[in-house]
Structure 1
Amino acid sequence: MPDISQSFLSSEASEFFDVVVVGAGLAGLEVTRRLTQFGRRVLLIDAKQDLRQRVHTTGIFVRRSLEDFSFPEELLGPSIRDVSLYSPSGKSFSIQSPHCEFRVGKMGQLYSQMLDDCRSEGARVRLGTRFSGIEPISQTDHEPDSKNASYDVVLQSANKTDRVRTRFLIGADGVDSRVARALKLSQNKRMIAGVEKVYESSSSCETPRMHCLIDPKIAPGYLAWVVDDGEEVHVGVGGDPQRFSPLQALEDFEKWSQRWIDVPCGRLIEKRGGRIPVGGLLPKIASSRGLLVGDASGAVSPLTAGGLDPCLRLSQFAASVIDDLLDESLNEIPSLYHSRIWKGRFVKRKILRTILESIRSRFMIDFGWSALQTPLGRAFAQRIFFGRGSFPDSPSRRGSHTEPETLVNGFPTPVRGLDLGG
């Protein structure tokens, strides 16, 4: 991190915002859009110059998100109802849902459209800008926990360092969050590493399908996947970074999948990679100065590592909490926004993750494969892939507001006091 002390202390904040949001991924865009729809003055920053570049997520939206939120139809791939599971030796079985369980988002385009929507709602946006630090305006005039306290946020872009003033700071800046460090909040410790290639689909795919390999060598502690929806093919692996080389594992998996799955791929569109938190929601995700959302908060299913549904739900709740605090001139985020709200809801998933991480032998997978093909085993697999438990519902903040959600530019406007989820 650059030394910003001299330029920081000698300059005045150029503008005031109710909220500064760091990170323009799904979580940051969602919380920004909702806050601006509440009428708040928001600055959104991201280090990227173009949000369509360096996408890190596969972009799989689960049924619960598709039912509870709305997205532009043209930015979602075809419905996926079928999942095939494979052992290392190529044994397989399939499960099917009567519902649309998954759709793969065109994430670069989705980010760009959400960014345009934020701007149209009044948010200020600064791309190519990094967060460098935060300090009270005057440590003698304001105690950090006092009501109505504002803070200066130091920003760096190109060769310029400046600062803006804000009441609250939101960290949506990913698994290794600078905001979390600045606010002295919890940081992610347990992670998996994932890499994937995205191809044009050259199959005559009449049945979009997700293929998943359980193999402790290729994907230790997680899965390898091929998702073919007839438009794009996503081929990827994820696992414990201490136990495998992601790029080598992806190469090995592509060879394995050519033998056992044989999904024809067209032109390579892009390569993706990143780290995914799997430790569950972090213990301390808020202070009097701000809060965390998305991967920065650990809001990812500890079992499946699915993160898009938690991003949407936690961002919606965070926007409601911040809006209430601004209305009431309070500064009590930690008492309203904390992981204890969901305490106990991730226990089973954490236990299952521990079991998955403990499997070190391919023989164990093949030996136990017949159990998965029993009615009980299939029911378990269907619960994991098709259950509506990706992330617990968030509590309501405003019980007196129950207006139905309407769409603006294809996206949902906020519902105050909505019990999130179905």
Structure 2
Amino acid sequence: MQTVDVLVVGAGLAGLSTARLLARRELNVMVVDRRRSLSAGIRTTGIFVRRTLDDFDLPDHLLGPGVRDVLLYPPSRRSPIRLTSDRDEFRVADMAAVSEHARRAAESAGARVLLGVRYAGTSAGVVRLEGAEPVAARFVVGADGARSRVARDLGLDVNRRFLVGAEIVHPVAPGGGVPAFHCVLDPRVAPGYLGWVVDDGRHAHVGVAGDPGAMRAGVRHLLDAFAADAPGRSAPAGPVERRGGPIPVGGVLRRLACPSGLLVGDAAGAVSPLTAGGLDPCLRMSELAAAVVAGFLRTGDEGVLGRYDGAALRARFRGRLLLRRVFAGVRSPLAAEAAVAALRGRAGRAVAARILFGDGSFPEIEPRPTTRKPLPG
């Protein structure tokens, strides 16, 4: 039986980033993922916000052009509100390529990444795997998604509030104009959230997300209906990809760590309750998680795990959780029209710009260094 310091379950961006940082601390790290290819199972558009672009050295060649314009449409799709920033606010990534890049960086740091290996449970430090021999692990990091089995096995908190999202990816014609982020507030197609179209320079990503209980027509049906005449979508050839899955929006979970392991990424609820963005928090929490795990394994002091305190982070989410409930309460087209109309004035536009362009989509976890840390490699 192999013995490792840390077994990371899940080779998404959160898991691979945590593994890379732990391996750099000279820990023996193994990553397992049930997928045989990291290009499989991509569930969402990789939208990186300005704050992430500022703080992390992302692979520029895998990012689309900067997006500065957001157009917010009411259900009627007439007279959208245009918000324009003087800086690049969003860039859309090729997430399959970003994941592969992160894998190579983790392996370069010394972590072993095993694909096609399914986590089957843990007990008394022994992790059962399907597709590989059991592993004796001093610590387990659960990066296995919104419905984490690791969380249940370790007796940690689990996500209970979700949106369900679905997307279609289409090619776009070269030279199609300046990319923009088109957002439609319409409870008929995205109850409790938005429909959107965003361009990465090569593809248009068309998506909807909403409360699963309200999506009675089925998420795929709603997506197809929205995509048929979604604003900002050119007339492309057939879709090159469909994807989707659950998005946890209940905020960071309270109990994230125990002496046997901890959670990162979607498994930890590290997604903004308001914007449903998860890439920025997954990178920030991975940094903290790696520091905490390394400190705990080095000292054996369980008090170190107290730094990874979900309850403290949740306290900083109160405003976002309240706005999530308000957003979820917009359930009629008339209410959505009125909500967009309220944003047309100076005060409303300032609020919208603060939400879309502000630095507060996810609270700061720890003070960051003055120089950016490369991710990955």
Structure 2 length-normalised TM: 0.95
CA contact (8 A) 2:295 2:304 kept: no
Question: Which one of 248, 256, 264 corresponds to residue 221 of structure 2?
Answer: 248
The match for 1:269 is 240
Q: 1:214 to 1:405 in 2, by over 3 A?
A: closer
CA deviation profile, 1:23-51 (whole Å, cap 9, x unmatched) = 00010011001111111110100000100
- Point out where structure 1 has 5 or more consecutive residues left out of the alignment: 1-13, 137-150, 413-422
Mapping for residues 4-43 of structure 1, pairs under 5 Å? 14-43=1-30
Secondary structure at the counterpart of residue 104 of structure 1: strand
CA drift at 1:344: 2.3
The match for 2:143 is 172
Alignment-mate amino acid for residue 411 of structure 1: P
The match for 1:232 is 203
CA deviation profile, 1:233-267 (whole Å, cap 9, x unmatched) = 0001000111111111101101231xx54533245
| d(CA) in 2 for partners of 1:155, 1:97 | 48
Question: Which one of 64, 83, 87 corresponds to residue 99 of structure 1?
Answer: 87
Aligned length: 374
The match for 2:48 is 61
| d(CA) in 2 for partners of 1:26, 1:40 | 19
1:50 paired to 2:37: yes
| d(CA) in 1 for partners of 2:189, 2:366 | 39
| d(CA) in 1 for partners of 2:234, 2:351 | 26
Q: 1:343 to 1:368 in 2, by over 3 A?
A: closer
Structure 1 length-normalised TM: 0.85
The match for 2:102 is 114
Question: Which one of 334, 346, 351 corresponds to residue 322 of structure 2?
Answer: 351
Aligned structure 1 segments of 4 or more residues deviating by more than 6 angstroms:
none
- The structure number with the bigger radius of gyration is 1
Secondary structure at the counterpart of residue 240 of structure 2: strand
Alignment-mate amino acid for residue 35 of structure 2: K
The match for 1:155 is 129
CA RMSD in angstroms, aligned pairs only: 1.7
CA drift at 1:406: 5.4
CA contact (8 A) 2:17 2:376 kept: no
| d(CA) in 2 for partners of 1:272, 1:331 | 40
The match for 1:147 is none
Percent identity (aligned) = 43
Question: Which one of 66, 75, 89 corresponds to residue 79 of structure 1?
Answer: 66
Work out which structure has the larger RCO, using CA pairs closer than 8 Å and 6 or more positions apart in sequence: 2
| d(CA) in 1 for partners of 2:277, 2:81 | 22
- Point out where structure 2 has 5 or more consecutive residues left out of the alignment: none
1:186 paired to 2:160: no
Secondary structure at the counterpart of residue 256 of structure 1: coil
Question: Which one of 97, 112, 116 corresponds to residue 124 of structure 1?
Answer: 112
| d(CA) in 2 for partners of 1:68, 1:117 | 18
User: Once structures 1 and 2 are overlaid, which stretch shifts more, 247-256 or 104-113?
Assistant: 247-256
| d(CA) in 2 for partners of 1:262, 1:392 | 33
